[in-house]
Amino acid sequence: MDLEIDNLSVSRGGVTVLEGVGFRLRPGAALVLRGPNGIGKTTLLRSIAGLQPATVGEISAPPEAIAYAAHADGLKSMLTVTENLRFWAAVHGGAGVEPALQRMNLASLRDRQAANLSAGQKRRLGLARLLVTGRPVWVLDEPTVSLDAASVTLFGEVIRDHLAAGGSALIATHIDLGIPGAETLDLSPFRARPPEQGGPAGAFDAAFGGDFA
C-alpha cells in the first residue's frame, strides 16, 4: 500500500510546527526522517498514525494500515512477554507470536513479566509487536533507543525483511539502520514560519528558539 502525504501541516499544543510536508512511500521502500530536536518528527509521525489530526493536508493510508512504534513501548507490565504479544496479535488479528519471539531474540524471555525486562529488552518486545500486527506500513519513532549494537543490527535486518515482503517503513532516527536504498527527508525546510514571515497565525513560539537555532 502506498503512503502518500500531501501538503501536510501538523501542530502541537495548538502551534503549527511543520507545514507543506509531502512525500510518497511505496511498498518495499523506506524513508528516514531527519531534523534537529524539536522540529516536529514525533508530531508528524503521530499525525500519520492517526493519533492526532493534521491541521491541513491529506494522508492517503488509513490508520488500520499503519503499525506505529512510539517512544513509549506501550507494554502491559503485569503480562509476560508472550502474553503481551498474544494480546496485540488478538487486537490486530495479525500473525502468530512465535515467529516474532524468535525474530526479536525474545524466546528465552517468553515467560518473564514485562515489568522485569531491561530497557533494551522492553524495546525489543515493543518492536516485536510490529511483527504480530500484520500491518504493511511501519511508522517508527526512534526505534533503536535503548538497543545495543547487536539489537540495532538485528532490527535493521527485520526492517529489510519487512521491505522485501512488500511492506514499507517511515523512520525517525538519528542513526544508520543499514537499509540499502533508504531515502532521507530533512524536515528543516518544512519548519513552520512565524506569522510575520507569512506563516500561519500561531506558528511561532519564542520557546522554539533554542531548539531551532
Ligand X SMILES: Nc1ncnc2c1ncn2[C@@H]1O[C@H](COP(=O)(O)OP(=O)(O)OP(=O)(O)O)[C@@H](O)[C@H]1O
- Give the residue, chosen from 42, 47, 80, 84, that forms a contact with ligand X under the rule CB under 6 A: 42
Numbers of helices and strands, H then E, in the chain: 6, 8
Cβ proximity to ligand X: between 114 and 203 the closer is 203
Burial of 53 (0-12, 13-18, 19+ CB in 10 A): exposed
Q: Name the minimum Å distance from CB 186 to ligand X.
A: 12
- Give the residue, chosen from 2, 4, 6, 12, that forms a contact with ligand X under the rule CB under 6 A: 12
Should residue 92 be labelled a site residue for ligand X when binding is judged by CB under 6 A? no
Should residue 38 be labelled a site residue for ligand X when binding is judged by CB under 6 A? yes
Cross-sheet strand order for the sheet of 168-172 = 66-69, 137-141, 168-172, 30-34, 183-186
Cβ proximity to ligand X: between 103 and 191 the closer is 191
Cross-sheet strand order for the sheet of 3-12 = 15-25, 3-12, 56-59
Interface segment toward ligand X; rule CB under 6 A; list 31-39, 96-104, 119-127, 178-186: 31-39
Should residue 39 be labelled a site residue for ligand X when binding is judged by CB under 6 A? yes
Other Cβ atoms closer than 10 A to 117:
21
Should residue 58 be labelled a site residue for ligand X when binding is judged by CB under 6 A? no
